Amino acid sequence: MTYLYTPRGVCSRSIRLDVEGDTIKEVQFVGGCNGNTQGVAALAKGMNIHEAISRLKGIDCGGKGTSCPDQLARALEAYLAQA
């Protein structure tokens, strides 16, 4: 299933998730620090949703209180809430 999330407090403008069951199949960030978001997306691919949330939630970027990885965790939580 594809899910689109609008992050808050970070440079990326959207996060697109493709999820099958509890497994992340694909993550795409629009905007943000290209190398970092590509790296996070590549690492999340194939990961269990709950494991990804556990690892990424709460990561801070420059004192913003959030980050692109944290926003990915929030996107996954939002996906689970609506699924």
Q: How far apart are CA 7 and CA 70, in angstroms?
A: 9
Looking up residue 61, the CATH number of its domain turns out to be: 3.30.390
What's the CA angle centered on 43, arms 37 and 46, to 5 degrees?
Answer: 125
**What phi and psi, each to the nearest 5 degrees, are found at residue 72?**
-65, -45
- pLDDT at residue 83, rounded to an integer: 84
- pLDDT at residue 4, rounded to an integer: 98
Domain hosting residue 71, numbered range: 2-82
H helical segments located in the chain: 34-44, 49-56, 68-82
Contacts 24+ apart (CB under 8 A), 50-54: 50/22, 52/24, 52/76, 53/77
What domain count does the chain have?
Answer: 1
pLDDT in 10s for each residue of the chain, 83 residues: 999 999 999 999 999 999 999 999 999 999 999 999 999 999 999 999 999 999 999 999 999 999 999 999 999 999 999 98
- pLDDT at residue 77, rounded to an integer: 98
Give 49's DSSP letter.
Answer: H
